[in-house]
């Protein structure tokens, strides 16, 4: 009887875990920063085609990366003296602005 109860408890735990995993897998994921940059540059590229578009996209994505790095540097500088959760909250708001 103890073995049967143990097996049933394990089966219930496995079922509950797999149901939660299925829910998490079906939820849509937010686009990454790189996907956002690609979308913005794609809109800016407009009707460009071929080599012109390729060159524009390369330039656009490189500039976005540099802008993000500069923003990170500025936010880091402004965050001096802050620690822990306070710094984390400040950086989040600074970088999203």
> Hey, what's the torsion of the CAs at 42, 44, 46, 48, to 10 degrees?
-80
Tell me what pLDDT residue 61 has: 83
- 37-92 confidence digits (pLDDT tens): 888 888 988 888 999 999 988 888 888 778 888 888 999 999 999 999 999 999 98
Tell me what pLDDT residue 34 has: 78
Alpha helices in 27-83 (DSSP H): 33-45, 50-78
Whether 7 shows a pLDDT value over 60: the answer reads: no
Query: Range of 71's domain?
Result: 35-97
Assigned domain for 51 exists: yes
Assigned domain for 20 exists: no
Counting the structural domains of the chain, the total is 1
Assigned domain for 8 exists: no
Q: How far apart are CA 72 and CA 92, in angstroms?
A: 10
Assigned domain for 24 exists: no
Tell me what pLDDT residue 81 has: 92
Tell me what pLDDT residue 6 has: 67
């Amino acid at each position: 009887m103890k073995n049967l109860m143990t097996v049933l408890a394990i089966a219930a735990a496995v079922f509950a875990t797999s149901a939660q995993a299925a829910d998490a897998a079906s939820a849509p994921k937010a686009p990454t920063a790189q996907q956002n940059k690609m979308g913005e540059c794609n809109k800016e590229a407009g009707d460009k085609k071929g080599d012109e578009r390729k060159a524009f996209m390369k330039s656009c994505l490189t500039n976005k990366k540099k802008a993000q790095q500069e923003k990170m540097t500025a936010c880091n500088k402004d965050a001096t003296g802050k620690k822990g959760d306070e710094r984390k909250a400040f950086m989040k708001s600074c970088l999203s602005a």
